[in-house]
Amino acid sequence: MLSILRCLITPYLTFCFVICLVVTLLPWWPASDKVLVAKYLLLFAPRWWLLLLVLGTVIFWRFLSKFQWLILFILVLFSLNYLDFQLPKLGDNENSSKKLTVITANIGGGGSKEVIQLLMLTEDPDILLLQEAMRIDIVQLVGDKHYSECISGLCIVSKYPFTNITTLDRKAFQGWGKFAALYQVKTANGLIAVANIHLETPRAILMGLRYGVIDTLLAQEIENNRELEVSLITRWRKDLKFSKGQNFIIAGDFNMPEDDSLYQQNFSDLNNAVAELALGFNYTKFTSWHGVRIDHILYSDGISIQDVAVLKSFKGDHRPVKATLLLE
């Protein structure tokens, strides 16, 4: 029995290494319909299986060499990276007079008037961005205490006046509903562009997998729609940067983790509030099995960050993200 275990150590570590390499390279997977379903599964299904697989190596602990213990340690780091474990960078605590507090929250899974009022009272955001807020009259709720607007469930509540520049609609590619509302907000420290977004979800593919249905055609259609949505937002923010030199914030329910190849291709050059300053696991969307971080606050290089937090759930399946940003 002992001799069998010794023989299995190297093949098992090699297998774990290959699996870790595959998931670590997720951000660079090719945009092919042949791998789309597998990509969605690895991105949105529970991720703790990889750590369990790697920790299975402890079965052989009595026979591991120093080099193999080192390999095991590296594989654990790969697993934690896949689990989206955050290590904070150094924040900027200066320029306190130029703070801008932003909160984004998808309230479709259970938000109520009372919860939103409590959120505004306890967190006191300068700008609150909501998604899936169709069931609540936000404008009536906040009254004339704040500037506010709702368009197809995309709502903004602001201490500062703003101008709606445009909204982006899925009708452009035979879809339904708006997925972005773009604003110019006149803060105490000047104009800043803000995008409130809610991108298409691959939920239909994931639900199909639960029942053994693999629909590659639907997966490709969803991915094409997601690519179109992201390309329009990317065009907007690049125009701001190169033609106007203006700072901007993009926040909302992206329906994609950071290691989605679509995110990497279009948003990896921006600062992600949670990735910059948070510690630990900061999942924003929860199921009964696991969590995943798909709600983000992104900002341009002319903005720095002082603090960030994923807030406690407020009776929904998403958790709000709050960032205290510093305007230059």
pLDDT per position as a tens digit, 10-57: 899 999 999 999 999 999 998 788 899 999 999 999 999 999 999 999
Phi–psi pair at 137, nearest 5 degrees: -85, 90
Residue 88 lies in a domain: no
Pair (73, 187) in one structural domain? no
Average pLDDT over residues 156-178: 91
Q: Please report the beta strands in the chain, taking only residues with DSSP state E, as ranges in sequence order.
A: 85-86, 99-106, 127-131, 147-151, 154-158, 162-169, 178-187, 190-198, 248-253, 271-272, 280-281, 285-286, 291-292, 295-299, 303-310, 321-327
> Does the residue 189 lie in any domain?
yes
Question: Contact at 8 Å (CB) between 242 and 177?
Answer: no
> Are residue 273 and residue 168 in the same domain, yes or no?
yes
Quick one: which of 213, 232, 136, 130 has its CA closest to 175? Answer: 232
Are 35 and 119 within one domain?
no
Domain match, 268 and 297 both: yes
Do 31 and 76 lie in one domain? The reply is: yes
Q: Which of 25, 55, 83 is the last residue of a domain?
A: 83
Per-residue pLDDT, 138: 84
Res. 243: pLDDT tops 80: no
Q: Nearest Cα to 40, choosing from 24, 26, 52?
A: 26
- Please check whether residue 316 lies inside any domain of the structure: yes
What CATH number did the domain enclosing 168 receive? 3.60.10.10
Whether the per-residue pLDDT at 76 is higher than 90: the answer is yes
**What is the tally of structural domains in the chain?**
2
**Whole-number pLDDT of residue 124:** 93
Position 269 in a domain: yes
Minimum mean pLDDT among 11-20, 70-79, 80-89: which range?
Answer: 80-89
pLDDT category, 261, cuts 50, 70, 90?
very high
Q: Which of 35-39, 173-177, 199-203 has the lowest mean pLDDT?
A: 173-177
Average pLDDT value for the chain: 90
21 and 121 co-located in one domain: no
- The residues near 170 (Cβ < 8 Å, ≥ 6 apart) are 176, 177, 178, 179, 200, 225, 229
Residue 134, number of CB atoms within 10 A of its CB: 14
70 assigned to some structural domain: yes
Phi, psi of 84 (to 5 degrees): 65, 45
Domain that holds residue 168: 96-327
**What proportion of the chain, given as a percentage, has pLDDT over 70?**
93
Does residue 146 lie within any of the structural domains? yes
CA 309 to chain centre: 13
Do 111 and 50 share a structural domain? no
Domain end marker among 48, 83, 118: 83
- Token pair of 108, please? 């479709």
The reply to whether 76 and 155 lie within a common domain is: no
Better pLDDT: 179 or 286: 179
Q: Does one domain contain both 262 and 306?
A: yes
Residue 148 domain-assigned (yes or no): yes
Over residues 261-290, the mean pLDDT reads 92
Res 5 pLDDT > 70: no
Q: Do residues 59 and 204 share a domain?
A: no
- Does the pLDDT value for residue 2 go beyond 60? no
Q: In the beta sheet, which residues pair with residue 130?
A: 105, 155
**CA atoms of 317 and 237, how far apart (whole Å):** 29
Q: Which of 59, 83, 107 is the last residue of a domain?
A: 83
Residues 130 and 59 in one domain: no
Same domain, 134 and 215: yes
